[in-house]
Amino acid sequence: MKRMLLTISYDGSAYHGWQVQPNGITVQSVLQDSLEKLIGTRPGVTGCSRTDAGVHALEFCCHFDCEDFLPEITFVKGLNSVLPKDIAVKDCRRVANDFHARYSSKGKQYVYRIYNSAVRDPFKSRYAWQIERELDIDRMNEFCAKICGTHDFAAFSASGRTVSDTVRTVSECFVKKDEDFILLKITADGFLYNMVRIITGTAVGVSDGKISPSDTDYIFASGDRSAAGITAPPNGLFLNKVLY
């Protein structure tokens, strides 16, 4: 048996997230269906994370085990020929048998896209949170600077999380303007359920003056989800990079 690492990208609009669900189509289930068509068996596929319904990935990594009878390029071409158009295999390579797509990862980088314009655009707003009022990037960055470092992010996580350890280290968090878009980029050694979306919603709350950047220390200390801002919608969130 050999272990293969797939790097894929996907538009999450039509899916109930990555992980197999009993009541909805997921990226993992569709990928397993396609692997079964290609190699005749249905291997388990382990992902680097569990993206939520409607969240996208520019780079998502997953591994599976199979018999050693197909070269790497065959998986790329073969899977892309049977996968739906909103999922694409970018790379496939053999890795050590003890490699784990999730636990071998040293961190991940997400980008959240805000379409900051009063002009309606069905293409831009499909993959971004449209906010018509002008946002204050300086205030947002003042807040983002306080997010960096090692903190207990319990207050920046939804109640549905499945882990008890809520301490994470954020190495990078900032916003920048790119034409009509404001992009929030964040890199960390790990993320909690809805963490990036809540951080984004809080950054917008800071811009609106509903929350002060100086409140961040209190939010961390409280561990209280209600102390932070709203949860930004899923369609603006992209898993941008997985770090190994």
DSSP-derived pairing of the beta strands 237-243 and 56-66: parallel
Of the residues 52, 136, 138, 165, only one is catalytic, namely 52
User: Closest by alpha carbon to 171, among 192, 153, 182, 187?
Assistant: 187
Q: What's the CA gap between 45 and 241, in Å, rounded? A: 19
Please, are residues 131 and 112 in contact by the beta-carbon 8 Å criterion? Answer: no
Please, are residues 7 and 90 in contact by the beta-carbon 8 Å criterion? Answer: yes
> Is 52 part of the annotated catalytic residue set?
yes
Using CA atoms in the order 118, 122, 126, 129, what is the torsion angle rounded to 10 degrees? 10
Tally of helices (H runs) and strands (E runs) in the chain = 5, 10
198 C-beta neighbours (distance < 10 Å), count? 22
Give the catalytic positions in this structure: 52
